[in-house]
Amino acid sequence: MEYNLSSIIQGYAQGYFLMADDTGYLEWYSSRKRALIPLDERFCYPKSLRRVLNQERFTIAVNRDFKSVVDGCADRETTWISDELKEIYWALYKNGYAYSFETWQGEELAGGILGLVMGAAFIGESMFYRIPEGSKVAMVKLVERLRSRGFHFFDAQMNNPHLERFGAYIVAETQYQRLLRKAVRFRCYLE
pLDDT tens for each residue of 10-32: 999 999 999 999 898 999 999 89
Give the pTM. Answer: 0.95
pLDDT tens for each residue of 36-62: 999 999 999 988 999 999 999 999 999
* Max CA pair span of the chain: 46
Q: Domain spanning 30-76+99-183 has what CATH number?
A: 3.40.630.70
pLDDT tens for each residue of 133-151: 999 999 999 999 999 999 9
Q: For residue 1, what pLDDT is reported? A: 52
Contacts of residue 167, Cβ cutoff 8 Å, sequence gap at least 6: 37, 38, 42, 43, 44
Q: For residue 189, what pLDDT is reported? A: 95
